[in-house]
């Protein structure tokens, strides 16, 4: 008898591995199909939690797990059937990292899956490998002398990314960043100040069995025990939206005011765009651009649910110059495309999809967006440039290159008053006035820089 939860997790891992699917998209799609399939998989919320754990955990620890597989077979990884390889990965993840799962169950269920998705020799192979896997094999990686190799293998991080981080940070910091990327992210939500406040929302959520905690910012809450967020009355009524407070910090630092004209040049899925509208009391004008129609629709949908009317969302390429907007905006938010290594807790497959060559290409796009959109700012206006990356090439270097070409812009040093006097963010401020939030136990990772355009001399 095949365990249904493990089989669904295997299908997701197979799609990620062979079709290049993103983990969160593949997982959502598989769960929707399973729930709607007549007479098919009967899964409950506990199953969903286990499936999600298997998918994200296996993807996140893939490098370490593959190193362990190499110890017990002479067959090269790329020669192993994708079905069998992902059965091995998923089973080893359970053996090494899920203490509540009996090791014997992980082995037996792996063998059962191999019988269905392989043949007799495959199941024998899976059985032989899994029965040899012991925790001491993982611990052996800590004795590796080469620093890059040791960090890569003990934290399951690409070697090139470890090397890049070590260029910019001490080894202890790099290890911490890599280790934290495996932690389960907290579920944080932003209170829609247009419809309610934190105290009222907490009471409403508690009525529905959801426990809450205060976050570091006034408009944010941490939820515990929340299932199917979209089905909660408060969500449907637009009283809150899901957003990590590090992402919410970016609009806060831009500080858009009522009646101002604001541009969000890379707006989808709309979390930062709608927070700016709330900070503006839904008064003024926000242009929200994105490259693709389906992503623009996401912005429109979230704005409608939250009761926001000042957002004008449209398909537009922020790298293409439009003379109609020169000097038009009071404030501009540039949350530019990036490699995304600050959100590995939520999207662990990013580290296997992105390469060193991607870093160079994305930096060109970032610089083009900043160069282009800076022309749309009024004299005396302000820009916040942000990424969910932790690499200097996408952050400080982009800003430095821009300032060298544009003496009419000055850095506005981010200060405590920009984020509600909250001490939590102080440790992320650097001497240049930038805010580099490395992913930590509390939040995702982000970079922020604020610049002001000087008023023209008369």
How much is the average pLDDT of 215-243? 90
Could you tell me which residues come within 8 angstroms of residue 65 by beta carbon, excluding any fewer than 6 positions away? 58, 88, 89, 92, 93, 96, 156
Higher pLDDT, 422 or 379: 379
Q: What is the largest CA-CA distance in the chain?
A: 84
Angle at CA 230, nearest 5°, toward 447 and 352? 45
Where do we find the tokens 């620890």?
61
Dist. CA 402–CA 394, nearest whole Å: 12
Residue 39 confidence (pLDDT): 54
Please report which confidence band the pLDDT of residue 166 belongs to, taking 50, 70 and 90 as the band edges. very high
Residue 388 falls in the annotated catalytic set? yes
Residue 259 confidence (pLDDT): 97
- List the single range of 128-132, 198-202, 231-235, 422-426 with lowest mean pLDDT: 422-426
Please report which confidence band the pLDDT of residue 421 belongs to, taking 50, 70 and 90 as the band edges. low
Within this chain, domains 4-138 and 245-453 share the same CATH topology: no
Please report which confidence band the pLDDT of residue 250 belongs to, taking 50, 70 and 90 as the band edges. very high
Please report which confidence band the pLDDT of residue 14 belongs to, taking 50, 70 and 90 as the band edges. very high
Dihedral sign, Cα of residue 415, residue 419, residue 421, residue 424: negative
Domain spans, the chain: 4-138, 145-180, 187-242, 245-453
Highest mean pLDDT among 223-232, 241-250, 410-419: 241-250
Q: Which of 204, 333, 201, 222 is nearest to 280 (CA)?
A: 333
- The encoded tokens of residue 93 equal 């993840």
Determine the topology of domain 187-242 in CATH: Alpha-Beta Plaits (3.30.70)
Contact 238, 278 (CB under 8 A): no
Residue 230 confidence (pLDDT): 87
Helices 293-306 and 271-279: angle between axes, nearest 10 degrees: 40
Determine the topology of domain 4-138 in CATH: N-utilizing Substance Protein B Homolog; Chain A (1.10.940)
Residue 77 confidence (pLDDT): 94
Determine the topology of domain 245-453 in CATH: Rossmann fold (3.40.50)
pTM of the model: 0.91
Higher pLDDT, 1 or 163: 163
Residue tagged active-site, from 266, 338, 373, 388: 388
Please report which confidence band the pLDDT of residue 40 belongs to, taking 50, 70 and 90 as the band edges. low
For the cut 60, the answer to whether the pLDDT of residue 38 exceeds it is: no
């Amino acid at each position: 008898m095949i365990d249904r939860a493990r089989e669904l997790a295997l299908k997701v891992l197979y799609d990620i591995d062979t079709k290049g699917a993103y983990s969160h998209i593949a997982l959502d799609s598989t769960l929707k199909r399973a729930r709607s399939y007549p007479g098919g998989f009967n899964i409950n919320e506990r199953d969903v939690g286990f499936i999600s754990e298997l998918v994200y955990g296996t993807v996140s620890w893939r490098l370490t797990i593959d190193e362990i597989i190499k110890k017990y077979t002479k067959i090269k990884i790329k020669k192993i059937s994708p079905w069998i390889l992902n059965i091995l990965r998923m089973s080893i993840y359970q053996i090494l990292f899920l203490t509540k799962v009996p090791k014997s169950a992980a082995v037996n269920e792996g063998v059962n899956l191999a019988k269905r998705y392989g043949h007799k020799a495959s199941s024998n192979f899976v059985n032989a490998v899994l029965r040899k896997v012991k925790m001491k094999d993982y611990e052996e990686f800590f004795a590796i002398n080469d620093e890059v190799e040791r960090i890569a293998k003990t934290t399951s991080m690409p070697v090139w990314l470890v090397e890049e981080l070590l260029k910019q940070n001490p080894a202890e910091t790099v290890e911490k960043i890599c280790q934290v990327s495996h932690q389960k992210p907290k579920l944080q939500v932003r209170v829609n100040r247009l419809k309610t406040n934190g105290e009222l929302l907490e009471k409403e959520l508690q009525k529905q069995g959801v426990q809450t905690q205060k976050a570091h910012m006034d408009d944010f809450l941490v939820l515990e025990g929340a299932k199917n967020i979209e089905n909660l009355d408060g969500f449907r009524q637009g009283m809150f939206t899901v957003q990590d407070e590090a992402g919410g910090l970016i609009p806060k630092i831009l500080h858009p005011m009522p009646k101002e004209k604001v541009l969000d040049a890379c707006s989808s899925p709309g979390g930062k765009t709608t927070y700016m509208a709330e900070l503006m009391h839904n008064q003024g004008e926000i242009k929200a651009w994105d490259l693709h129609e389906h992503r623009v629709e996401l912005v429109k949908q979230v704005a409608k649910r939250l009761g926001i009317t000042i957002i004008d969302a449209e398909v537009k390429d922020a790298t293409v110059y439009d003379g109609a907007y020169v000097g038009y905006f009071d404030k501009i938010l540039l949350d530019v495309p990036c490699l995304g290594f600050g959100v590995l807790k939520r999207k662990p497959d990013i580290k296997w999809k992105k390469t060193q060559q991607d870093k160079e290409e994305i930096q060109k796009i970032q610089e083009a967006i900043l160069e282009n959109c800076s022309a749309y700012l009024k004299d005396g206006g302000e820009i916040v440039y942000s990424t969910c990356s932790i690499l200097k090439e996408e952050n400080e270097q982009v800003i430095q290159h821009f300032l060298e070409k544009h003496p009419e812009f000055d850095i506005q040093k981010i200060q405590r008053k920009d984020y509600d006097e909250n001490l939590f963010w102080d440790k992320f401020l650097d001497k240049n006035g930038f805010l580099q939030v490395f992913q930590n136990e509390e939040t995702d990772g982000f970079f922020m820089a604020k610049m002001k355009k000087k008023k023209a001399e008369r």
